[in-house]
């Protein structure tokens, strides 16, 4: 699966601390402050409906039809909620459709109108779902704020196939600690290295041991400080970091599609297995670069 993601070196992207900074999401009618861990939820909302056969954003008094099921929709244009479309009689035609938040709406606004809320069909089974974003290359970008069952994760990945998850990580930002740098997992340096997982309360720099020095590692092994290879790590660095996730949303470790965590700053963090011993890492990338390379318009 080909996915346009740029993994930049340290000098090309903001610091790890800057990538965790909350920011303001522009709303449809001015700026709305989004507090990490809290979001404004609406019931079964859509940004687009069909009006006289054309995709249209909501305007007061308009009546339309759902692009997925053709059920009548009504425009909701109050002063206390973001403007949206809703099915009449609270119909919900797509069980995968998540209640839309300002976070969803902001992400969609970074892509062309015809890439947002695109109905995706399986010609063999007739199954139909609405993708949050579908790029010109056919890549599906699904925006996920709420927890979901593992059955749904597997079903959505099977249905869309060529897809990426972008997860709203602000609700668990206080439980997610991005720690020290790692070298790329496929570089020569790590062929003879097994890293010890870091913890955010550790006082030392972390460490590793070498299989070549411990051919039968039972009990004690020869411990090395990670400071011994810190210069090599800096030279090889491509955005990989240790992390500790307290009370993790474990479903994301089961995903087969790329999972990018959005903490609200200028970076995205890709969750990925680092080695075959159970160590996981996150790899940071520029959010603007990801958006631009997938046909969007960075801010």
Q: According to the model, what pLDDT value does residue 123 have? A: 80
Are residues 107 and 183 located together in one domain of the fold? Answer: yes
Q: How far apart are CA 104 and CA 274, in angstroms?
A: 29
Length of the chain: 299
Are residues 47 and 152 located together in one domain of the fold? Answer: no
Give the confidence band of 170 by pLDDT, cuts at 50, 70, 90: very high
Q: How far apart are CA 128 and CA 133, in angstroms?
A: 15
Is pLDDT larger for residue 161 or for residue 220?
161
Are residues 250 and 139 located together in one domain of the fold? Answer: yes
Are residues 19 and 143 located together in one domain of the fold? Answer: yes
Are residues 209 and 258 located together in one domain of the fold? Answer: yes
- Res 140 pLDDT > 90: yes
Are residues 62 and 207 located together in one domain of the fold? Answer: no
Are residues 87 and 130 located together in one domain of the fold? Answer: no
Query: Cα 242 to the chain's mean position, in Å?
Result: 18
Q: How far apart are CA 37 and CA 192, in angstroms?
A: 40
287: domain range?
A: 1-40+101-299
* Main-chain dihedrals φ then ψ at residue 166, nearest 5 degrees: -115, 120
pLDDT digits (tens, 9 = 90+) for 196-239: 988 888 888 899 999 999 887 677 889 999 999 999 999 999 99
pLDDT digits (tens, 9 = 90+) for 24-78: 333 332 222 222 333 333 445 777 777 777 777 777 877 787 776 666 777 777 7
- Boundary residue ending a domain (98, 116, 134): 98
């Amino acid at each position: 699966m080909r996915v346009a993601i740029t993994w930049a070196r340290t000098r090309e992207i903001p610091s790890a601390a800057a990538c965790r900074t909350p920011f303001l999401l522009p709303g449809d009618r001015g700026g709305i402050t989004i507090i990490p861990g809290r979001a404004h939820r609406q019931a079964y909302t859509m940004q687009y409906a069909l009006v006289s056969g054309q995709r249209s954003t909501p305007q007061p008094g308009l009546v339309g039809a759902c692009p997925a099921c053709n059920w009548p929709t009504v425009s909701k244009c109050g002063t206390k909620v973001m403007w949206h479309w809703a099915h009449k009689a609270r119909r919900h035609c797509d069980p995968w459709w998540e209640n839309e938040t300002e976070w969803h709406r902001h992400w969609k606004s970074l892509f062309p109108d015809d890439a947002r809320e695109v109905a995706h069909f399986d010609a063999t089974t007739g199954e139909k779902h609405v993708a949050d974003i579908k790029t010109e290359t056919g890549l599906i970008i699904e925006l996920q704020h709420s927890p979901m069952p593992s059955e749904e994760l597997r079903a959505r990945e099977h249905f869309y196939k060529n897809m990426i998850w972008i997860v709203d990580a602000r609700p668990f930002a206080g439980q997610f600690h991005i720690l020290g740098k790692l070298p790329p997992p496929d570089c020569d340096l790590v062929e003879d290295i097994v890293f010890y997982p870091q913890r955010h309360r550790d006082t030392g720099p972390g460490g590793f041991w070498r299989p070549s020095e411990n051919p039968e590692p039972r009990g004690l092994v020869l411990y090395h400080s990670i400071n011994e290879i810190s210069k090599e790590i800096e030279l090889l660095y491509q955005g990989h970091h240790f992390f500790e996730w307290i009370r993790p949303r474990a479903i994301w470790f089961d995903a087969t599609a790329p999972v990018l965590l959005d903490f609200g700053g200028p970076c995205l963090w890709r969750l990925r297995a680092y080695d075959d011993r159970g160590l996981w890492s996150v790899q940071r990338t520029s959010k603007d670069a990801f958006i631009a390379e997938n046909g969007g318009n960075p801010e």
